[in-house]
Each structure stands twice: as C-alpha cells, then as structure tokens.
Amino acid sequence: MTSAIYPGSFDPVTNGHLDIANRAAALFDELIIGVYDRPSKHLLFSTEERVDLIKKAVTHLPNVRVTSYSGLTVDFAREVKAKVMVRGLRMSSDFEREFEMALMNKNLDRDVELVCLMTSLEFQFLSSSLLKEACELGGDINDLVPKHVAAALKKKFPQTRKRVGK
C-alpha cells in the first residue's frame, strides 16, 4: 500500500488545491492532506478552520484524510508512514521553490519521494493569497472555491462592498 501526503498552508483551500487532491487520490492508496499549522506567512484562517474547510471539500474521496501538523514535513511523512509527498506546480516560480525544498527534504530524509502534479489549465492563476485579495476587494470568487469556503471567506470580510455595477 502506498500512502502519500499533500502538505500545505491551505489558507483557504481552493479548487486548484482540490484538483491536485482529486488527482493524487486516484494515484495512491491513501492520501493524507497535511495542514501546516504555522507557516511563515500571515494567515486568515486558524488551523482548525483550515482543516475543517478541507475536510468538508473531500468527503467524496474515501481514501483521503485531513490532519494538521507542525515541524518538518518529512517528519510528518514518517509519522503517517507515507513514502511520497505530493505538491502542485503552477508556474516556473513554483518549480524553483519546489526544487529547492525537494533538495532540502532529500537531505533530511532520503526515503521520501516528491511527486509534482501540474496544475490544470483553468487553475494556473489561482492561489490562496490572490483569492483572499480579490475577495477582500469585492471580487466574485464563487467559481474558485467550494460554496462553504466562499461563505467562510465572506464572513472574514463582512465590510467588503459590492463592486460598482455588480
């Protein structure tokens, strides 16, 4: 049985993340989505909220579970007995970052292999940070996230006014 982890901040989960999770779930016996509890970026959602939002979005995938983790991602992989780490690639800057992280992770644990899945065309511009910015400025984000995530985002930005003419 091959288990894989899909680690990230998921602040919040987007349809781009879910596309990668769906495809990875079809490749591996078990996929464990790891929500990193303290990334070095400003977070909008708490760890518990980020986990809950993903859990609700993957209920249709029986071989996927969601959990938070702290510390090194390779230690998380070892803890859940996963040999593979899945990441998504959008643009060349993602590749450079993933390549650097992969080399560091290989240095820390030779047994964990990185598998990168290319984004689907419709999600290549989609990141959690741009999504939050667009939502805060009143942009329509309904096609970019599941319904419950759009609702959670709108709750975080209650003062946001509708754009003129929308």
- 115/39 Cα distance (integer angstroms): 21
Residues 44, 45, 47, 51, CA torsion sign:
negative
Catalytic option among 65, 90, 148, 156: 90
Catalytic option among 9, 17, 50, 132: 17
Please give, one letter per residue, the 3-state secondary structure of 7-31. EECCCCCCHHHHHHHHHHHHHCCEE
CB nearer ligand ADP, residue 42 or residue 166: 42
User: Do 131 and 150 form a contact (C-beta atoms < 8 A)?
Assistant: no
CB nearer ligand ADP, residue 90 or residue 148: 90
User: Do 54 and 35 form a contact (C-beta atoms < 8 A)?
Assistant: yes
Note the residues at the interface with ligand ADP (CB under 6 A): 8-10, 14, 16-17, 20, 39, 87-88, 90, 94, 119, 123, 126-128
- 128 tagged catalytic: yes
Catalytic option among 9, 50, 87, 128: 128
CB nearer ligand ADP, residue 45 or residue 123: 123
- Token output for 53: 């939002």
Q: Is 134 exposed, middle or buried (0-12, 13-18, 19+ CB in 10 A)?
A: middle
Least distance from ligand ADP to the Cβ atom of residue 74, Å = 14
Least distance from ligand ADP to the Cβ atom of residue 7, Å = 6
CB nearer ligand ADP, residue 115 or residue 163: 115
Least distance from ligand ADP to the Cβ atom of residue 156, Å = 16
User: Do 117 and 89 form a contact (C-beta atoms < 8 A)?
Assistant: yes
User: Do 145 and 156 form a contact (C-beta atoms < 8 A)?
Assistant: no
- 147 tagged catalytic: no
Least distance from ligand ADP to the Cβ atom of residue 72, Å = 13
Q: Which positions are catalytic?
A: 17, 41, 90, 128
